[in-house]
Amino acid sequence: MPNRRQFFRTVAGATVGLYMGERAVRAQAPPARLQVSVGGKRVKVVDVHAHWDMPLGDVVKGTPYEKDRATGPGLDDRIPMMDKIGVDLEAISVNDFWWWEIKDQGLARAICNKHNETLAAWSRQHPDRFVGMASIPLQFPDMAADMLDEAVRRGAHGVAIGGHVNGESLSLPKFDVFWAKVQQLGQLAFMHPNGSGNIIQQGALAGRGGLGNIVGNPLETTVFLSRLIFDGTFDKFPNLKVCGAHGGGYLPSYLGRTEVACQRTGQTCIIKKKPSDYMRANILADAMVFSAEGVRHLVAEMGAGQVVFGTDTPFGWPVTVDPITGNSALSNADKEAILGGNLVKLLKLTT
Ligand SMILES: [Zn+2]
């Protein structure tokens, strides 16, 4: 391309290229596209953790959700946000799972259909930049399994889930039909918490600092993953791949206590392996821990094959690729896997 200019800088052993796109010639200031390289090799950066509070329009007309959910943000500003931090492809999910409280099966199905159809259309429009994760109505486990099947056939990559269904753990047998489908389809389940509303007494996280997010979210993720481990979900479905948002909550950071739980006198455990074995086979974490030391520790506890890149876009967290590209504890192969290689496999990406 005649207008392409290349800039290169070296960051602690990893080379990062800056690319000014064709828009550089327009009157507006050009968005720079950060192109990430490791050891001189351009690598694909894939983001597992990208939100969209999708507007639902007529689908929620005349329902209690019309006021808050009919209108919402679009995705038109998303590509410049991705370019700025070097994300090549986002796997978009609709989070919060507010529709899991809906008792009307038709409405729940219509909302998830709208999510899945809109994400599929957006992904078709920008096949090299976006894929959509399936939305499912997990309060109806059979329907959720069917809708996951349908969404994957229509182009979804992975499935987005919350940490509980109206307070119920996803390790309960009633959700086995869903996990069986996730395993059968070989899809990645990306779990995103919502403030530990299922665990924390009302008002307990109401102090300054946004603790529902800062503490509640990783706590909910920790409990969610711990229930899947100790209640035997991964023994029933040994090929499951479940990714916990925000570094997998506190679980990888404090694994020692979890690891010895079954060795304690008086404990009766049913699990077939050590907790750390599930951490290294079934559980993944996004690398959204904001420091090279945090990423190093995730890799030490889980292995580089279990850690993936995530940004929490568009919520303004100061995420960069630097804790990975500039991490002296990681090999170039580890960096490439964490930045995108693992997700290319787990999300079955072809580009
Ligand atoms: Zn998030």
Question: pLDDT per residue over 331-346, tens digit each?
Answer: 999 999 999 999 999 9
Q: Residue 131 pLDDT > 60, yes or no?
A: yes
pTM of the model: 0.90
- pLDDT of the residue at 119: 98
Q: Which pLDDT score, from 0 to 100, does residue 27 have? A: 52
288 C-alpha vs ligand 1 centroid, how far in Å?
10
What is the whole-number distance in angstroms between the Cα of residue 248 and the centre of ligand 1? 12
| Cβ(298)–Cβ(263) below 8 Å | no
Report how far residue 257's alpha carbon sits from residue 250's, in angstroms, rounded to the nearest whole number.
11
Tokens 């930049």 belong to: 129
Structure tokens at 40: 């001189």
Measured in Å, residue 53 CA sits from the centre of ligand 1 at 11
The Cα 92–Cα 160 span in angstroms is 9
Q: Residue 30: what pLDDT? A: 54
**169 CA from centroid of ligand 1 (Å):** 20
CB 121 within 8 A of CB 137: no
pLDDT digits (tens, 9 = 90+) for 42-60: 999 999 999 999 999 999 9
Mean pLDDT of 7-11: 30
Main-chain phi, psi angles of 248, to 5 degrees: 70, 25
- Ligand 1 centre to CA of 196 (Å) is 13
pLDDT, tens digit, 9 for 90 and up, residues 236-252: 999 999 999 999 999 99
What separation in Å is there between the alpha carbon of 48 and the centre of ligand 1?
Answer: 10
| Model confidence at 10: pLDDT above 70 | no
pLDDT category of residue 267 using cuts at 50, 70 and 90: confident
User: 154 is written with which tokens?
Assistant: 């229509």
Count CA atoms within 13 Å of residue 313 on its CB side: 27
Weakest mean pLDDT among 31-40, 172-181, 271-280, 291-300: 31-40
Cα–Cα distance between 256 and 296 in angstroms, integer?
A: 16
Collapsing DSSP states into helix, strand and coil, what is residue 194? coil
The type of residue at 313 is T
Pairing of strands 241-244, 5-11: unpaired
Q: Rounded CA gap, 98 and 209, in Å?
A: 24
CB 193 within 8 A of CB 245: yes
CB 319 within 8 A of CB 311: yes
pLDDT digits 0-9 by tens, 175-230: 999 999 999 999 999 999 999 999 999 999 999 999 999 999 999 999 999 999 99
d(CA 75, CA 273): 43
Tell me the pLDDT of the chain averaged across its residues. Answer: 92
Residue 15 has pLDDT above 90, yes or no: no
From the CA of 85, how far away is ligand 1's center (Å)?
A: 17
Using the mean position of ligand 1's atoms as its centre, give its distance from the Cα of residue 52 in Å. Answer: 10
Whether pLDDT at 12 is above 60: no
**Could you tell me the distance, in angstroms and rounded to a whole number, from the CA of residue 271 to the centre of ligand 1?**
30
CA 123–ligand 1 middle distance (angstroms): 20
What is the Å distance from ligand 1's center to 261 Cα? 29
* Cα 118 to Cα 15: distance, rounded to the nearest angstrom: 36
